[in-house]
Amino acid sequence: MCDYNLRLFPAEVFRALQITADEHIDNLGYDGYAMADRGLAWVLIRTEVWMDRYPKYLENFTVYTATSETRHGVYPRYFEIRDEKGEVIGKAMTLWIIFDLNKRAMLAGSEANISVGAAKSRKEVPPFPPSPKPLTEGEKRISKRTVRYTDMDMVGHMNNTHYIDWLTDAMPWQKFKDSEIEHIIIGYTEETRPDTELELELVLDGDRFSFRDVNGPSKHFVLCGEWRSL
C-alpha cells in the first residue's frame, strides 16, 4: 500500500474511500448483493480529493463519510481522512449513480426508490465538483494500456481506483521523490469494459497535470490535478 518513500499510494486513498462508502451503504441495506438482486449497482461518476499529506507506513488513519440529499438521480458523498491525533489530513467528495446492469445505463433516482439519508438543509450541501478539464498546453506523453482482469470490479468494468494506478504509472517515477499529488479530480464519462485498449494522454505543465483517454469521440475519463513540493 506504500511506495518507496513509505507514503500511501494515491490509488490506496481512493480505495480507502471506496471501502468506507461500501461499509456505510451496507449498513443502510443497499450493499452490492442487495443491489445486484434488483439488477442494479452503484457506479461512481466523479471524485475529487484534496490531501494535506499522505499517511506513512504503519500509520493508522480513519476515514469518515456522510451522504447528502440526492439531486437529479446523483448521490453525493463526502469524506474526511484523519490521522491518529484526529487531525484532518484529507478531504474528498464523490458522486454516485445507480446503474442498470441489463441496460448498462443510469437509472433515474425515482425509479430506484432508494434513500441514503440527507443533510439537514441545502445550505449544508457543498456544490458538485466541476467537470475536470484537460490541459491544452504542456509536455504531452502518449501511451497505450488495455483493461485486464485485475483492473475489473464486480460490475464488470474497470474499477474507479485503477484509473489512479494508471495515472501514477504514467508519471515519471522520480517526481514522487520530492513531490506528492495534492489534488485530483476525475470524471468517469463512460464505463471501460474488459479488453478495451485506451490511448492515454498525460500532459505535464509545472505542478499541474491532466490525464485522459483520446480514443476518439467516445471518451471514458478525464482527470486533472496538482502537485505539491515536499
| CA distances from residue 50 to 89, 95, 142, 181 in whole angstroms, order as listed | 9, 15, 26, 9
Identify which has the larger pLDDT, 74 or 216: 74
Percent of the chain with pLDDT over 90: 67
List, in order of start, the domains of the chain with CATH numbers.
Answer: 10-124 (3.10.129.10), 139-229 (3.10.129.10)
Mean pLDDT of the region 1-18: 96
Q: Using an 8 Å Cβ cutoff, are 116 and 75 in contact?
A: yes
DSSP state of 183: E
pLDDT of residue 34: 86
Whether the pLDDT of residue 154 is over 80: the answer is yes
Query: Where do we find the cell 505543465?
Result: 205
Mean pLDDT estimate for the chain = 90
What gap in Å lies between CA 144 and CA 197, rounded to an integer? 7
- pTM, 2 dp: 0.90
What gap in Å lies between CA 66 and CA 55, rounded to an integer? 21
State the DSSP string of 40-74. EEEEEEEEEEEESSPPBTT---EEEEEE---BTTB
Give the model confidence (pLDDT) of 82-137 as tens digits.
999 999 999 999 999 888 888 888 887 666 677 776 655 455 556 677 889 999 99
Count, residues in the chain: 230
What gap in Å lies between CA 178 and CA 60, rounded to an integer? 23
Mean pLDDT of the region 194-214: 96
Mean pLDDT of the region 138-167: 95
Mean pLDDT of the region 67-72: 80
Name the grid cell of 89.
489530513
pLDDT of residue 118: 61
pLDDT of residue 129: 76
Give the model confidence (pLDDT) of 11-67 as tens digits.
999 999 999 999 998 888 888 888 888 888 889 999 999 999 999 999 999 999 988
Percent of the chain with pLDDT over 70: 93
pLDDT of residue 123: 55
Cα 39 versus chain centre, distance:
23
State the DSSP string of 130-148. PPP---SSSEEEEEEEE--
Name the grid cell of 192.
471501460
